[in-house]
Structure 1
Amino acid sequence: MLLEIGLPTLIFIAAALYAAVGHAGASGYLAAMALFGLAPTEMKPAALTLNILVASIATVKYIRAGFFSWTLFWPLALLAIPAAFVGGRLQLPSHYYKPLIGIVLIYAAWRLLWKPQVSTETVRRGRQVYLIFAGACIGLMSGLTGVGGGIFLSPLLLFAGWATARESSGVAAPFILVNSLAALFGLMSTNITFPDAMPVWAVAAVAGGYLGADYGSKRLASPAILSLLACALIIAGIKMLLT
């Protein structure tokens, strides 16, 4: 009973919070599934599928809000898509996958608590070659782990001064979408297993993603809630590192 109610609830919360900043929530879904002891072979395809659903909603919302930048997006996506496909095809053994996911989840927790000081005015655009290289690296990591790459992309764009916070959200959502699609297509060429409860999780993710993306450009998620979610990511990350 706890699995049937608790996991969809955590997926809903993760989708809402991540969509509010232009992300799709894969690290949150992976953390929730790790806490409930799902097998790595089920975690990756499930996280990618939920990512695609939520990223689709966030992409539409942020494009309509005028935060999408094609000149920033295409160099990032150019090699990220094939790299994510290759990463999706690679099935890491459990003793490699779990520590890698643990590190990603702990990093994601820091990402939730990080408060960047970013100018809302002019930003300097990165050279296309740097954006293409960064996109390829993030795409490969996305495919390997089952995350969409937003937790890696947004800090890079903000640290480098290549985008404002709003632009970062507007580019992250479609970037996550294409990465997740490519990784899932790559994964489908191997033997994959979807959990039986996938339809229920999908409904929870769509509902949370819609609410988060709808209000993402108007309000910020509560710092207290973000702190709680970060704690959950840390606990799940430590669990993946130790098991």
Structure 2
Amino acid sequence: MILQLLIPMLFCTLLVALLYSCVGHGGASGYIAVLALFSVSPEVFKPTALTLNLLVAGITTWSFFRAGHFSWRLFWPFAATSIPFSFLGGYLTLPAHIYRPLVGVVLLLSASRLLLQKNAAPVRTTPPSLPVALVIGAALGLLSGLTGVGGGIFLSPLLLLCKWGELREVSAVAALFILVNSCAGLLGHLSGVQAIPSYAPLMAGSALLGGAIGSLLGSRHLPVPTIMRVLSLVLTIAGFKLLLV
């Protein structure tokens, strides 16, 4: 890729990682949008997005864990079934014209619901039942592997809207959820790793820098209402990306 295009693409990658990591996300849907914007070949979307997602989710998980927001009780039931199904989804290749519009609409509806939720005061939360969490984990894992995203962008609004976790706790759980599912999806898509472009290490560096800044802000400094608005913005960007790209 010529330098005139590479520099703005790296800046966009950094911005995506910063914005998404504020709310515990790896940014896969944003990386796919960046790659599409700069007319990169579609076959590299999935492996490249999963690789960058893996790196940013790792540093984001560490930041939120160190800040004391992680809940193993909330995390493990979703992860138990999502990991094998994410591997399966990474192995499969399905046409995008069915799931992309559907997922885009779901994300936009979630964003609007969160944006209208003006009360940022602590709410009483109750973890979901084990069967419900296991079924949802399997569904999100499969969707994660199929689309090349880590699944957290679907898990976060679900946990918040169902009042299954508090905001920073949800961000911490989503970060590790993205990490394990990106790893499983990438392993299931090993045949596509050879399609990762030669400039991917530069994108990885930009993503790691943005992820480090964003996760620090999100885990310790940003007020809850701001995080809610950022999460709504992230969901809106991802939703329109799936509908329009």
TM-score tier (shorter):
0.7 to 0.9
Count, aligned residues:
236
- What does 1:20-31 align with in structure 2 at a 5 Å threshold? 20-31=22-33
1:63 equivalenced with 2:65 (yes/no): yes
Q: Is the 8 A contact 2:124 2:163 kept in 1?
A: no
The residue aligned with 2:134 is 132
Superposed, 1:41-52 pairs within 5 Å as 41-52=43-54
**Residues 13, 109 of structure 1: CA spacing in aligned structure 2 closer, same or farther, 3 A cutoff?**
farther
Shift of 1:118: 6.1
Query: Which of these residues, 172, 196, 200, is aligned with residue 194 of structure 1?
Result: 196
Query: Structure 1 162/121 Cα, relative in aligned 2: closer, same or farther at 3 Å?
Result: same
| Structure 1 position 211 matched with structure 2 position 213 | yes
| 1:73 matched residue in structure 2 | 75
CA contact (8 A) 1:62 1:170 kept: yes
Give the superposition deviation at 1:170. Answer: 1.1
Please say if residues 81 and 137 of structure 2, whose CA atoms lie closer than 8 Å, have aligned partners that are also in contact: yes
Aligned counterpart, 1:91: 93
TM (norm. structure 1) is 0.86
* CA apart distance, 1:8: 1.1
State how far apart, in whole Å, the 2-side matches of 1:9 and 1:158 are.
Answer: 31
Determine if contact 1:89/1:190 at 8 Å carries over to the other structure: no
Task: Supply the distance in 2 between the matched residues of 1:109 and 1:35 (Cα, whole angstroms).
Answer: 20
Separation of aligned partners in 2, 1:5 and 1:36 = 11
Whole-angstrom distance in 1 between the partners of 2:230 and 2:181: 30
Deviation at 1:53, TM superposition (A): 0.3
Q: How has the CA–CA distance of structure 1 residues 73 and 234 changed in structure 2, closer, same or farther, with 3 Å as cutoff?
A: closer
For residue 84 of structure 2, what is the aligned residue in structure 1? 82
Equivalent position of 2:144 in the other structure = 142
* AA of the residue aligned to 1:149: G
Once the two structures are overlaid, the 10-residue window that deviates more, 140-149 or 103-112, is: 103-112
1:183 alignment counterpart: 185
Q: Matches of 1:91 and 1:46 in 2, distance apart?
A: 16
Residue 144 of structure 1 aligns with an amino acid whose one-letter code is: L
SS in 1 for 2:17: helix
The Cα of 1:41 is off from its aligned counterpart by 1.2
- Residues 225/216 of structure 1: CA separation in 2 closer, same or farther (3 Å cut): closer
Question: Please, which of 142, 161, 164 is the counterpart of residue 163 of structure 2?
Answer: 161
Question: Pairwise CA RMSD of aligned residues?
Answer: 2.6
Change (3 A) 1:29 1:71: same
Q: Where in structure 2 are the equivalents of 1:94-133 lying within 5 Å?
A: 96-97=95-96, 100-101=99-100, 104=103, 108=107, 114-115=114-115, 116=117, 117=119, 120-133=122-135
Q: Which runs of 5+ in 2 are unaligned?
A: none
Q: CA deviation at 1:7?
A: 1.4
- In the TM superposition, residue 125 of structure 1 has moved relative to its aligned partner by 1.4
The equivalent of 1:40 in structure 2 is: 42
- Any conservation in 1 of the 2:108–2:240 contact (CA below 8 Å)? no
Length-normalised TM-score, structure 2? 0.86
Alignment partner of 1:196: what SS?
coil
Deviations 1:151-175 (A, max 9, x none): 1001111111111111110100000
- Displacement of 1:121 in angstroms is 4.0
Contact map agreement 1:126 1:162 (CA 8 A) in 2: yes
